[in-house]
Amino acid sequence: MDEKTQISLVDGNAIELHYWFDDNTHLMDATVHNKCEYEFLGILKEISSTYNFVVTVETKPLADGGLRRWFKIAVKDENKKATITVAIIAALLTAVLVTPITTSISKVTEKLIEKIFEDPEIKELEKEKLKLEIEKLKQETSKNTILLDSNNIVKKKRSNFYETLEKYPKVEKITYVILDETKSDSLDERTVYRNNFKEFILVSDALEPLEVDDAVIEIISPVLKEGSYRWMGLYKGEPIPFSMKSTEFKNLVQTGEVQFKNGTSINCFLVISRKIDNEGIEKITSVEVIRVNHYFQNDKPIETPEGKSYRRKREEESKQLGLFGQEKGDGKK
């Protein structure tokens, strides 16, 4: 970047999306273009929500040179703190869009945030009455940055953005440029090339299953006959259909050894499978009870054979770890 055009990052309040084509035209399929902008704005909205920033976005006219689109970011208030907020959003949005799925977003954005708050213009503001406000903004921003790594909406929308471009062979690269109000000075410029698009695309919408031991489910509707029917229960106050994968417990039910009354509950090992939809919203795909530790009869817990076996195994492992730790301690004396 030419040093002559380098100005304060705090002045960055606009982002340019520049689609570069492999031909000499400035034309882009409208459906592809609208889809990309939809995902781009969705990422911006989610970042603003995560950081509790209320922003508005204004678009600028299209320009030649492939296809260029400008987005001006603004917040409700018009003061120095608002100016810094806009700069943070512009930097975060750019960082998210150039960070592959295998790289930590928070690590990238951390450096950007530090760069913004170390800007000479902000250092000058800290000498004024804004010092406490800026420090508070810095702490809140740093604290929330780590949330981007686990934000499925951001991940999915970024994936959708690049998947759309990857399927449109005309685009050979895309450039993101942070600009000032006049669009004449470039503060930061990043490029992602076509051969790297796949690095931003999720290979699966499935999430890591949630494993919950000692989960308590109140049984609403048990299955009393053989088959792949689903049970119904209350978990954390919410009704859930689930599959009973414990063959041992199903046998206890089918032989009548375990009988259900109103309010009967089980303590179990639960596996919750999840995925994200096209908007990045988490959806539960299945709930399975793998092991029943005990069930309650007249509020009295009755341990199942598999529950007893698992408990003894844990106790034995705990003893071995204790002995190992003690041996290490003895060795130090």
Specify burial of residue 236 (Cβ count, 10 A radius: 0-12, 13-18, 19+): exposed
Which DSSP helix (H) or strand (E) runs through 301?
strand 300-303
Q: Hey, what are 58's tokens?
A: 């204004």
Q: What is the pLDDT of residues 186-208, one digit of tens each?
A: 667 899 999 999 999 999 999 99
3-state secondary structure of 41: helix
Per-residue confidence (pLDDT) for residue 6, from 0 to 100: 46
DSSP 280: S
Closest CA to 202 of 283, 280, 272: 280
Measured between alpha carbons, how far is 200 from 318 in angstroms, rounded to an integer? 43
Arithmetic mean of pLDDT, 109-134: 73
Per-residue confidence (pLDDT) for residue 324, from 0 to 100: 63
Average pLDDT, the chain: 85
Per-residue confidence (pLDDT) for residue 32, from 0 to 100: 96
Q: Hey, what are 206's tokens?
A: 């499935």
Q: What is the pLDDT of residues 23-58, one digit of tens each?
A: 877 889 999 999 999 999 999 999 988 877 888 888
Per-residue confidence (pLDDT) for residue 329, from 0 to 100: 58
CA distances to 219, 245, 321 from 216, rounded to whole Å, are 10, 16, 28
pTM summary value: 0.81
Q: Which of 33-42, 132-141, 205-214 has the lowest mean pLDDT?
A: 132-141
For the beta carbon of residue 71, count every other beta carbon within 10 angstroms: 20
CA distances to 223, 236, 291, 312 from 307, rounded to whole Å, are 20, 21, 7, 9
